[in-house]
Amino acid sequence: MKFFLDSAKMDEIVYAYDTFGIDGITTNPRHIMLSGKPFMTAITDIANWVKKTGIEGWDKFPVSVEINPHIDTAAEMISAAEKIAPLCKNFVIKIPATEQGIIAARTLEKKGIRTNVTLVFSPAQALLPAKNGSLFMSPFIGWKEANGEDCRQYIKDIVDIYKNYGFYGKTQIICAAIRTPKQIVDCAVSGADIVTTGLAVYQDCMKHAYTTQGIGTFCEAWDNTKTE
């Protein structure tokens, strides 16, 4: 399973790449806002870093960029995507999981512009992005579980459907809105291709009380052992 970083902050991106070996980036309007930069500045900074790092190409290190969410017609979505996609070989355009969004994503894929159909909240919504050849499909986890749903079966159902019809691996499943290490594990057990989450969640994955206790025990033993 690949790890993507959910962020548009360059310091987080660089740290996560150098420390955890993240495999891609996902952004959305909220991440752009939190970066404190104008939209074009934020995505250009990411594009420049990608080029400098030598990982150009969506097949090497995909960077999902979301179009203006106010746009609600396929024609406008296509037009917006066609302006953004050429800015970087790594850019994958995020399109909402709506009827107009599916029309736009289907057209863009035929034009060679890769898409990430996002804001998916049911297995039914997950079907058409795969049928129409989108590179990514992003089912959201944290929002559903915050409202009392257990998403393990939800992800497993999508994975099973994709395997049934030969979509698995062709349209990759990015489990999004991940809030806890447990949710990462649930997605991995279910067979998702990718998880995307914030830096803090990846850092939390490496924390365990017994690890801390064990280091303390070994430090005490080390301090009470003669070195020669």
Cα–Cα distance measured from residue 201 to residue 5, given in angstroms and rounded to the nearest whole number: 10
Within 10 A of 67 (CB to CB), how many other CB atoms are there? 21
Active site residue 9: no
DSSP calls for 55-69: --STTTS-EEEEPPT
Catalytic residue among 2, 52, 94, 131: 94
Nearest to 155 by CA among 186, 179, 194: 186
Cα–Cα distance measured from residue 172 to residue 39, given in angstroms and rounded to the nearest whole number: 26
Tokens at 182, concatenated? 């447990």
Active site amino acids:
94
